[in-house]
Amino acid sequence: MPKVIFVNAMVATEGGMLSILIQFLENAKKYLDNTYRCYVFTSLDLSRYSSKNITIVKINNAKKRTDRLIWDMYGLKNWSVKNNVKHDIILSLQNTGVKSFNSIKEMLLKFPRFDGHTKWLV
C-alpha cells in the first residue's frame, strides 16, 4: 500500500507560491515511485501534472479567504471521508494548516507576505 500525501495548495495561484507548487509537481511527477500517492488540492486546473502517482483535485470556490478557511477546517477532511482516502502526511503550501484531522503528520510551509513598504536592514 503506497504512502498517501495530501498537498493543500488553494492559494498557490500566482507568483512565487505557484512557482513552488509547479516545481513540486514537476519533481514529484519525475521522481515519485509506486511507494507514494499524491493528491494535490488546488483552485487551478493543473491537470497537465497528473500522473499515475499524482491526482490533481480542483476545488471550485476556495480562493476567497472565508471559503479557504472553511476548506481548511472541514473541506479536506470531508473530501477524504467521502472518497475513502486516508493520508499519511499533509503538506500545506500556504500560510494556514488543516485543522480537522486528529493525530496527523502535517508540514506547514509558511511564506512571508511582502507589502513593499517594509524597510529591511541589510
| Residue 111 Cα to chain centre, angstroms | 13
Q: Per the structure, how many domains does the chain have?
A: 1
* Phi, psi (degrees; rounded to nearest 5) at 106: -130, 135
State how far Cα 91 lies from the chain centre: 6
Query: Hey, what's the cell of 75?
Result: 473541506
Please write the tens of the pLDDT for every residue from 16-64: 888 889 998 998 888 888 899 999 999 899 999 999 999 999 998 777 7
The neighbour count for residue 44, using CB atoms within 10 Å, is: 18
In a domain, 115, yes or no: no
User: Residue 118 falls within a domain, yes or no?
Assistant: no
φ/ψ of 80, rounded to 5, equals -60, -45
Residue 113 pLDDT grade (very low, low, confident, very high; cuts 50, 70, 90): very low
Range of the domain at 9: 3-108
pLDDT higher than threshold 50 for residue 115: no
Is 114 among the domain residues?
Answer: no
Q: Tell me how many helices (H) and strands (E) the chain has.
A: 3, 5
The pairs formed by 46-49 with CB atoms below 8 angstroms and a separation of 24 or more are 46/21, 46/22, 49/22, 49/25
- Residue 90 located in a structural domain: yes
Instruction: Supply the pLDDT for residue 99.
Output: 67
Q: What CATH number does the domain containing 42 carry?
A: 3.40.50.2000
pLDDT in tens, 50-108: 999 999 999 987 777 788 888 888 888 899 999 999 988 888 877 666 766 665 555 54
- Contact, 54 vs 28, CB < 8 A? yes
Of residues 11 and 43, more confidence is placed in 43
* Listed residue (89, 92, 86, 94) closest to 104, CA to CA: 89
- In a domain, residue 121? The reply is no
Residue 91's pLDDT is 84
Residue 122 lies in a domain: no
